[in-house]
Amino acid sequence: MIMDAYGSDFATLDLNFESEDPVTCIFCNDQFNITEDEQPLLQHLLTVHKFVIGEVEEIADLRQYISYWGKLQYVNLKDYCVIFNTNTEPGAKFPSETYYLLCSKLPEDKEIRSTLSKLKLKYVLKMKEKEMQDITFSRKCIYCSETITGGLANCFQHLTFSHGFSVGKPDDIVFGARLLDVMEEKLRKLQCLFCENTFKTHVVMRVHMRKKQHRCLNPKNKLYDRFYLLNYLKPGTPWELAKHDRTLESDIDSLHEEERGQGYGDPLWTDWQEDHVPPTTCLFCDFTTSKVPGGLFNHMIAYHKFDFESVTKGFKFYEQVKVINCIRRFMSECLCLMCPLKFSSRDTLLKHMSEASHCKLPPTSVWDHSQYLIPVLENDGLLYHLEDTEISDSSFSDDGKAIVPEDVVLFNNSVLEDDKLREEITGTNDMDAVAMCLFCPYSAVGEYPHTLIYNHMRVLHCFDFMEVVNGQPFYNQVKLINYIRWRTARSECYYCGKVFDSMISIEEHRALEGHNVLPDSHMFEDARWLQPVFEGDILLQKIREAGDSDEETADNPQACSVDNVFSEDIHVPPSILNDRRLRQELLENMAGHVVQFD
């Protein structure tokens, strides 16, 4: 039927949609590889032959399309193309040129586009069906050394649930094996898959992607269009827009499934939605925006004459953290940053700072203190968006080893030394329970303090507690928490055991070396780690086992009010703090490094 419609013209096409062979120019013998990039061919047609193809993005297969229109070199272009001339106005500086536009206004062109679209869609659906039925497919994960079996869908689910990296719903992905190859090649070249910046080392790239939450593909890169079925259903629709349409449909389908009581155990694939940016408050006033950091920084420049990016240029990550928390602390206490004046209200303070031009970064002696490493504002969205200047290429020597500053201020991160704080932790009730970070003195109070600690560790320590303990048995989680607390109290890295003289040094070491994951099991499998480092440890009381409800998460602490606590038949040994000799050893080890904080 196709040959009847177009005769020998269409018979010359091979209709091999898998081919990546170079395509020959319509008007000359120059060849171009358009599999990865079609722009060189289009630029050649424009500059050399004054020929333009309209709405290229709506062509299902450019290779077949070019081959079909190869006959134009033997015919009069005026019979097939729209003609337009340039520089026709009187007194034009450049001579007039004639260009030829081939577009769907020509019935034959419209028909060939439609036919190619149908044939390509038929081919793609056939390939998708083949991929879904091939349960023998196996592949090594692009992130870890684990080999995933059972089909392509399992590979993408492993990326999502084991590494937090989402490419979308597997049912909407086609040519999945090739997509994984493209992603792996980019990672091999040390290129972030979202922002596509290139880094010096693999460690720096991984820390960047984790801290910046760059756990999805670049939606503006057209390279990925061919891997999503929606682009074949709606030719010319970028997958960024197609993804948005799919999100609306997916939300409705998920709602209907919940109403019918179906698919409870299946993933909802909310990864199709854009990352949620928590609203963030200005450092000086009550202005709040979700446009972070751009909108927030522009506000501070316009209304407070404070250019955060400029004044902190060249600062390391933890220095930026200190600046933010210092300013927030001063503002919360109605203290001026530049002069020792306290005001009765925020309004009078802001009026004074505006009139005296005191919305400036105070001297280093004011903000450069370890106490300002502790967040003043819970879930401070601005901290999420700080640049990773402390792990830039300049942080590495020529041989690739990390350069640790020699003038790092000593920091005591042991919670064991403060008897009053320890008594407060062990003596509070459930409604006012206090939970403490595994790596620093930060504590959280309230009905769900453990969720605040999870968020704190994820933001400031690059340690995703729920991801690290995912799949671990109950007792392993108990051992791991006590083991990490013990190592922290001794100023040691929990992953490798290396000893440091400050918390900052440990943080830099863990970030640069990637020591933010589950350590080898033999390091914490000893039964002695069942003994709590301190009694009443809230994190121990909130341990969850496989099969527990997933409704309560760090991002949704109030979704479930039922806590998972020790059952009655579990014997929890007394705290190791009761061993006076052991406690004295820890205190002596941490002596001389006292932290001052409110």
Q: What is the pLDDT of residue 417?
A: 52
pLDDT over 50 (residue 131): yes
Rounded-to-integer distance, Cα 455 and Cα 461, Å = 10
- Angle between the 202-211 and 503-513 helix axes, to the nearest 10 degrees? 110
Sequence length of the chain is: 598
pLDDT over 70 (residue 458): yes
Q: Name the one residue in this structure whose structure tokens are 């602490």.
A: 557
Three-state SS at 289:
strand
Q: Are strands 23-24 and 31-32 parallel, antiparallel or unpaired?
A: antiparallel
Q: How confident is the model over 181-234, as pLDDT tens digits?
A: 999 999 999 999 988 989 888 888 887 887 677 778 888 888 888 888 887 876
Q: 156-160, 348-352, 578-582 — which is least confidently predicted?
A: 578-582
Measured between alpha carbons, how far is residue 268 from residues 170, 177, 247, 466 in Å?
12, 23, 11, 19
Q: What are the residues whose beta carbons fall under 8 Å from the beta carbon of 556, sequence distance 6 or more?
A: none
The first and second tokens of residue 284, run together, are 């000086």
Q: Name the one residue in this structure whose structure tokens are 């091939």.
A: 134
17 with 35: CB under 8 angstroms? no
Q: What is the pLDDT of the chain when averaged over all its residues?
A: 74
Neighbours of 62 (CB within 10 A): 18
Q: 68-72, 103-107, 402-406 — which is least confidently predicted?
A: 402-406
Rounded-to-integer distance, Cα 507 and Cα 509, Å = 5
Three-state SS at 85:
strand
Rounded-to-integer distance, Cα 476 and Cα 518, Å = 11
- The CA-CA-CA angle for residues 12, 17, 21, to 5°, reads 75
Q: What is the pLDDT of residue 586?
A: 57
Measured between alpha carbons, how far is residue 528 from residues 63, 495, 534, 574, 579 in Å?
67, 18, 14, 11, 13
How confident is residue 270, by pLDDT bands cut at 50, 70 and 90? very low
Q: What is the pLDDT of residue 179?
A: 92
- The CA-CA-CA angle for residues 393, 398, 399, to 5°, reads 110
Rounded-to-integer distance, Cα 455 and Cα 278, Å = 13
Q: What are the residues whose beta carbons fall under 8 Å from the beta carbon of 330, sequence distance 6 or more?
A: 336, 337
Return the DSSP state at 423: H
